């Protein structure tokens, strides 16, 4: 589906309901361009993009956005209302929900994302992490079949990333279809998603996290940094990818008994 | 149409004879052409002015671009013709008026298309305009492409929330601009704050008379051009007023 | 550079943004300031080059000294000669239409002679490998290139200290690493003292000579990377520890030091296995 300056080329991708898919690549790989094709912001020049079987060329952006909820990278590009609840209501009203339903959905979304206390506050006074949560909350309010997050962790501090991780886990538990576009592999690693790697406008790999993230050359050539635990798992030739710190610790302990905690080896660059 | 105006005023880097002239000379050229366009009110004068605008434009390899700007301004030109006809003018008079307008557009465009924003800044400083003003002006121009990109991203984001900018009556359409304008304005304000920090961190205001890396100096080409423009322009202006 | 019991409350605010901050950074050090959003890191940085208190008024107590100058009493343009400041968003610190003119901005402000400006600008562009971008417009550049332009614009003033406020948070992984490496290289080549705010410790723990952890406006702990990464209570602060460090902490490795990156850890693992 090339654009004016071949931003995407021969992309073949299929996402099924309830899947969690990570789309990774460096800046300029075409990830955001791909996302914009999903809700019709961009229409394919050649090839087709179909949502639930229907080509996107047959619907407007508004119609498609109702089904495909995009959360853009920069929250400051969206917030404008007088209150947090008005902000959530905005999208719902655009999509034609009746007033009574709007109120109910706003309350539900805010509470689900821990923003209930702030419903009367001005969105512009929220912290960076809160704004990001609000942007995700307002998209879930209209229950799109797919939730697509564009670089949700950029500019967020560690605590907010931990919260975001929890948030994504909950979305998965709620059986939503979630797409995450990101170059932050450390963030994605614990989720162990199906991972699609993009580079130069093409899809260069598509597979489970365990095989993609352990492939150093693939990641490097696509402008990405391998997560430390994956690198560790490969270097130590562990049969299991270390999905989290505890898994790594457990394996290391099991493999070689008690560790010399009084070890005199001063290693590392102090 | 707005895009056409933007394109008509945007500098393109080229190395034609005209582009390489000192910006003050280019400014003088455009002012002379502008004056001729304003003064001309009969058929012959218009032809002369038209040729005089077309020649530097061609030398600047920008004739096509100028033509496009002019062509798109024709809608306004037609408007001018219509009003004048209604006010009781003749057809010829109306067309002359319209052509005048187009020449004014072309002569202004000529300057901006051949002069880089840097050069523009130098010219303003040479005119001894206050440094703060020139800096603010120059910085605003520098951020125009950035603002446009912000605008596109904001529009995309709001469209993805169901905002439809091309539907509804005039009142609805204006109201639909609010979700686009507010983020744009807020972002610009935040940006100004960051720029202010950066300015301060790089010593802005340290010295009453800041210097600059390049100094405007007239070269042979410039003197040659001036020797054509100044007497030629003066002569034509006199001719337009008293003779033809 | 030293902070002595520095406290600051922004005008109109009731809570201090920084309280009783005391630390020193020696010449040639690379100090990393880490902490959550809103913990006071930005405030501390801005107190180094004078933005606090000269642009941001408020209640100021304690002292900050840079190269022997007391920041509170020195105008920002004097400090600008010694302290280069790099902001998070590369776009919003580039003013001019061409790369070379933006780099020259600081020198023009100081009133240097045009020839000197030209020399120093060329030097800075060569140092950062961006000479070929001299006449380009900043809006056409990649993020990494923009950061280099911004760095050149600071270095051109011959500072002895370079302060960077989250320079990598908006960059992609490879560009982020490039900026970090570049910073270390400048530290080595020019002897620049570097103070860097970065909360992704795995990016900077190998280049830092000192880590200062900030929480709620005060210093939580400071020391060498080894000391800080082995200390208790780091989880409370909410810092992002490099996973390989977390693994070692959980394994109970304490004295003797820990490996700061995966390669080092892997090298040492066989030695520790009995």
Residue A81 to residues A88, A124, B178, B181, B232, Cα–Cα distance (Å): 9, 8, 9, 12, 60
Residues B8 and B111 in one domain: yes
Residues B183 and B91 in one domain: no
Q: Which stretch of A162-176, A192-206, B113-127, C54-68 has the lowest confidence by average pLDDT?
A: B113-127
Q: Which residues of C touch B13 (CB under 8 A)?
A: 135
Residues B43 and B104 in one domain: yes
B121, part of any domain: no
Residue A148 backbone phi and psi in degrees, to 5: -115, 120
- Does the pLDDT value for residue C36 go beyond 60? yes
| Contact (CB<8Å) B194/C93 | yes
Q: Which stretch of A17-21, B68-72, B185-189 has the lowest confidence by average pLDDT?
A: B68-72
User: Whole-angstrom Cα distance, residue B123 to residue B127?
Assistant: 6
Residue A100: predicted pLDDT: 92
| Contact (CB<8Å) A65/B156 | no
| Contact (CB<8Å) B159/A62 | yes
B143, part of any domain: yes
Q: Which residues of B touch C106 (CB under 8 A)?
A: 202-203
Residues B61 and B179 in one domain: no
Q: pLDDT tens for residues A21-70? A: 999 998 888 899 999 999 999 998 888 888 888 888 899 999 999 999 99
- Does the pLDDT value for residue B244 go beyond 70? no
Structure tokens belonging to residue A104 = 């109910």
Q: What distance separates the 2 farthest-apart alpha carbons in chain C?
A: 68
- Does the pLDDT value for residue C208 go beyond 90? yes
| Contact (CB<8Å) A36/B156 | yes
Pick the closest to residue A142 from A87, A69, A196, A194 (CA basis): A69
Residues B106 and B151 in one domain: no
Of the pLDDT bands very low, low, confident and very high (cuts 50, 70, 90), residue A122 is very high
- Does the pLDDT value for residue A175 go beyond 80? yes
The answer to whether residues C66 and C161 touch, using CB atoms and an 8 Å cutoff, is yes
Of the pLDDT bands very low, low, confident and very high (cuts 50, 70, 90), residue C148 is very high
Number of Cβ within a 10 Å radius of residue C113: 10
| Contact (CB<8Å) C174/A262 | no
Q: Which stretch of A71-85, A170-184, A224-238, B74-88 has the lowest confidence by average pLDDT?
A: B74-88
- SS3 of A242, please? coil
| Higher per-residue confidence, B206 vs C252 | B206
Interface size, chain A vs chain B, as Cβ–Cβ contacts under 8 Å = 59
Strand partners, C195: C31, C163
B195, part of any domain: yes
B37, part of any domain: yes
DSSP state of C144: H
Helix axes A128-140 and A84-94, enclosed angle (nearest 10):
30
Q: pLDDT tens for residues B72-113? A: 777 777 777 777 777 777 777 777 777 787 788 888 888 888
Residues B104 and B182 in one domain: no
Residue B96: predicted pLDDT: 76
- Does the pLDDT value for residue C141 go beyond 80? yes
Instruction: Give the count of domains, chain B.
Output: 2
- Does the pLDDT value for residue B41 go beyond 50? yes
Q: Which stretch of A206-210, B22-26, B72-76, B231-235 has the lowest confidence by average pLDDT?
A: B72-76
Q: Give how far the C-alpha of residue A232 lies from the chain's centroid of Cα atoms, to the nearest Å.
A: 24
Residues B67 and B182 in one domain: no
- Does the pLDDT value for residue B1 go beyond 80? no
Strand partners, A20: A178
Please state whether beta strands C161-165 and C83-86 pair in parallel, antiparallel, or not at all (unpaired).
parallel
- Does the pLDDT value for residue A262 go beyond 60? no
B206, part of any domain: no
Q: pLDDT tens for residues A134-148? A: 999 999 999 999 999
Q: What is the 3-state secondary structure (H, E, C) of A185-241?
A: HHHHHHHCCEEEEEECCEEEEEEEHHHHHCCHHHHHHCCCCCCHHHHHHHHCCCCCC
Percent of chain A with pLDDT over 70: 91
Residues B179 and B82 in one domain: no
B210, part of any domain: no
Percent of chain A with pLDDT over 90: 63
Helix residue ranges, H only, chain A: 31-38, 61-67, 84-94, 99-112, 128-140, 158-173, 185-188, 209-213, 216-221, 228-235, 245-256
Of the pLDDT bands very low, low, confident and very high (cuts 50, 70, 90), residue A260 is very low
Of the pLDDT bands very low, low, confident and very high (cuts 50, 70, 90), residue C255 is low
pTM of the model: 0.87
Residue A265: predicted pLDDT: 39
Residue B241: predicted pLDDT: 81
Residue A9: predicted pLDDT: 67
A52 Ramachandran zone, left/alpha/beta (phi>0; psi -120 to 50): left
User: Whole-angstrom Cα distance, residue A151 to residue A183?
Assistant: 7
Q: Which stretch of A35-44, B111-120, B144-153 has the lowest confidence by average pLDDT?
A: B111-120
Residues B151 and B85 in one domain: no
Strand partners, C69: C66
Strand partners, A178: A20, A147
Of the pLDDT bands very low, low, confident and very high (cuts 50, 70, 90), residue A168 is very high
Residue B183's domain comprises 130-201
| Contact (CB<8Å) C202/A270 | no
Q: Which chains touch C (3 or more CB pairs under 8 A)?
A: A, B
In this prediction, residues A230-256 reach a mean pLDDT of 86
User: Whole-angstrom Cα distance, residue A228 to residue A231?
Assistant: 5
Pick the closest to residue B149 from B139, B160, B137, B157 (CA basis): B157
A13–chain C nearest CA distance, Å: 24
Strand partners, A180: A22, A149
B234, part of any domain: yes
At which residue do the structure tokens 């169901």 appear? B162
Q: What is the mean pLDDT of chain A?
A: 87
Which residue from B206, B209, B213 is facing C77, i.e. has the nearest CB?
Answer: B206
**Is A269 touching C (CB cutoff 8 A)?**
yes
Residues B16 and B97 in one domain: yes
Q: pLDDT tens for residues C238-252? A: 788 899 888 888 887
Q: Give how far the C-alpha of residue A221 lies from the chain's centroid of Cα atoms, to the nearest Å.
A: 21
Of the pLDDT bands very low, low, confident and very high (cuts 50, 70, 90), residue C270 is confident
Structure tokens belonging to residue C180 = 């970090």
In this prediction, residues A108-118 reach a mean pLDDT of 91
In this prediction, residues A86-99 reach a mean pLDDT of 95
Residue A264: predicted pLDDT: 36
- Does the pLDDT value for residue A2 go beyond 70? no
Q: pLDDT tens for residues C175-200? A: 999 999 999 999 999 999 999 999 88
Strand partners, A21: A179, A194
Q: Which residues of A touch B146 (CB under 8 A)?
A: none
Residue C132: predicted pLDDT: 94
Residue A3: predicted pLDDT: 32
- Does the pLDDT value for residue A131 go beyond 80? yes
Residues B178 and B223 in one domain: no
- Listed by number, the residues of chain A in 205-244 with a beta carbon closer than 8 Å to a beta carbon of chain C are 223-225, 227-229, 231-232, 235-236
- Listed by number, the residues of chain A in 95-154 with a beta carbon closer than 8 Å to a beta carbon of chain C are 127-129, 154
The answer to whether residues B66 and B73 touch, using CB atoms and an 8 Å cutoff, is no
- SS3 of A182, please? strand
Q: pLDDT tens for residues B152-173? A: 999 999 999 999 988 888 898 8
Residues B81 and B174 in one domain: no
B193, part of any domain: yes
Q: What is the mean pLDDT of chain C?
A: 91
**Is B142 touching C (CB cutoff 8 A)?**
yes
Burial class, B137, CB count within 10 angstroms (exposed 0-12 / middle 13-18 / buried 19+): middle
**Cβ-count burial B79-117 (b if 16+ within 10 Å, e if not):** ebbeebeeeeeeeebbbbbbbbbbbbbbbbbbbbbbbbb
């Amino acid at each position: 589906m090339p654009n004016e300056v071949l931003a995407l080329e021969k992309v073949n991708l299929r996402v099924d309901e309830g899947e969690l898919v990570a789309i990774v690549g460096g800046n300029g790989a075409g990830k955001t361009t791909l996302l914009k094709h999903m809700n019709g912001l961009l229409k394919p020049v050649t090839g087709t993009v179909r949502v639930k079987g229907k080509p996107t060329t047959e619907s407007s952006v508004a119609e498609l956005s109702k089904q495909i909820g995009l959360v853009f990278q920069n929250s400051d590009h969206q917030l404008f209302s007088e209150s947090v609840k008005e902000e959530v209501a905005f999208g719902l009203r655009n999509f034609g929900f009746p007033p009574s339903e709007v109120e109910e959905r706003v309350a539900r979304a805010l509470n689900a994302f821990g923003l209930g206390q702030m419903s009367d506050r001005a969105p512009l006074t929220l912290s960076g992490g809160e704004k990001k949560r609000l942007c995700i909350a307002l998209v879930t309010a209209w229950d799109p079949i797919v939730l697509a997050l564009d670089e949700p962790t950029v500019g967020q501090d560690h605590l907010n990333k931990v919260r975001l991780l929890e948030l994504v886990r909950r979305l998965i538990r709620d059986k939503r279809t979630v797409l995450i576009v990101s170059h932050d592999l450390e963030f994605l690693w614990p989720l162990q998603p199906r991972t699609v790697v993009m580079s130069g406008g093409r899809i260069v790999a598509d597979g489970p996290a365990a095989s993609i993230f352990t492939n150093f050359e693939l990641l490097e050539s696509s402008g990405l940094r391998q997560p430390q635990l994956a690198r560790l798992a490969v270097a130590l030739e562990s049969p299991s990818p270390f999905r989290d710190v505890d898994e790594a610790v457990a394996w290391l302990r099991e493999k070689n008994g008690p560790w010399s905690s009084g070890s005199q080896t001063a290693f590392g660059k102090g | 149409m707005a895009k056409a105006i933007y394109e008509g005023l945007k500098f393109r880097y080229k190395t034609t004879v005209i582009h390489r002239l000192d910006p003050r000379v280019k400014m003088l050229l455009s002012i002379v052409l502008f004056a001729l366009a304003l003064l001309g009110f009969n058929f012959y004068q218009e032809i002369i002015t038209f040729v005089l605008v077309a020649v530097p434009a061609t030398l600047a390899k920008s004739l096509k671009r100028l033509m496009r700007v002019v062509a798109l301004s024709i809608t306004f030109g037609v408007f001018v013709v219509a009003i004048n006809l209604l006010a009781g003018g003749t057809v010829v008079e109306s067309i002359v008026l319209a052509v005048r307008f187009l020449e004014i557009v072309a002569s202004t465009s000529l300057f901006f298309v051949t002069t880089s924003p840097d050069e523009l800044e130098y010219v303003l400083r040479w005119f001894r305009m206050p440094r703060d003003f020139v800096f603010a002006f120059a910085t605003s121009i520098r951020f125009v492409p950035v603002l446009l990109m912000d605008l596109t991203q904001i529009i995309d984001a709001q469209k993805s929330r169901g905002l439809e900018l091309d539907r509804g009556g005039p009142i609805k359409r204006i109201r639909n601009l609010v979700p686009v304008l507010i983020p744009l304005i807020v972002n610009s304000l935040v940006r100004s704050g960051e720029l202010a920090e950066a300015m301060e961190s790089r010593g802005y205001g340290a010295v009453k008379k800041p210097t600059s890396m390049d100094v405007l100096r007239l070269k042979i080409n410039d003197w040659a051009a001036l020797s054509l423009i100044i007497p030629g322009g003066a002569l034509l202006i006199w001719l337009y007023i008293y003779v033809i | 550079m030293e902070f002595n019991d520095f406290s600051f409350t922004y005008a109109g605010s009731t809570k201090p943004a920084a309280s009783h901050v005391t630390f020193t950074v020696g010449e040639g050090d690379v100090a990393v300031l880490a902490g959550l959003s809103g913990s006071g890191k930005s405030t501390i940085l801005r107190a180094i080059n004078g933005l606090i208190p000269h642009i941001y008024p408020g209640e100021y107590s304690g002292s900050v000294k840079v190269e022997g100058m007391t920041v509170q009493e020195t105008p920002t343009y004097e400090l600008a000669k010694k302290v280069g400041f790099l902001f998070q968003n590369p776009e919003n610190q580039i003013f001019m239409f061409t790369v070379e003119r933006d780099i020259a901005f600081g020198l023009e402000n100081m009133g240097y002679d045009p020839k000197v400006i030209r020399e120093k600008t060329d030097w800075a562009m060569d140092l950062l490998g961006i000479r070929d971008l001299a006449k380009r417009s900043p809006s056409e550049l990649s993020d990494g290139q923009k950061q280099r332009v911004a760095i050149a614009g600071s270095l051109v003033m011959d500072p002895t200290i370079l302060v960077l406020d989250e320079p990598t948070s908006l960059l992609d992984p490879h560009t982020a690493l490039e900026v970090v490496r570049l910073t270390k290289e400048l530290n080595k080549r020019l002897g620049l003292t570097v103070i860097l705010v970065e909360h992704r410790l795995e990016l900077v723990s190998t280049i830092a000579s000192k880590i200062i952890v900030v929480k709620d406006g005060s210093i939580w702990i400071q020391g060498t990377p080894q000391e800080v990464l082995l200390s208790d209570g780091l989880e409370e602060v909410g810092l992002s520890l490099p996973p390989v460090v977390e693994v070692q902490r959980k394994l109970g490795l304490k004295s003797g030091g820990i490996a700061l990156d995966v390669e080092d850890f892997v090298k040492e693992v066989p030695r520790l296995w009995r």
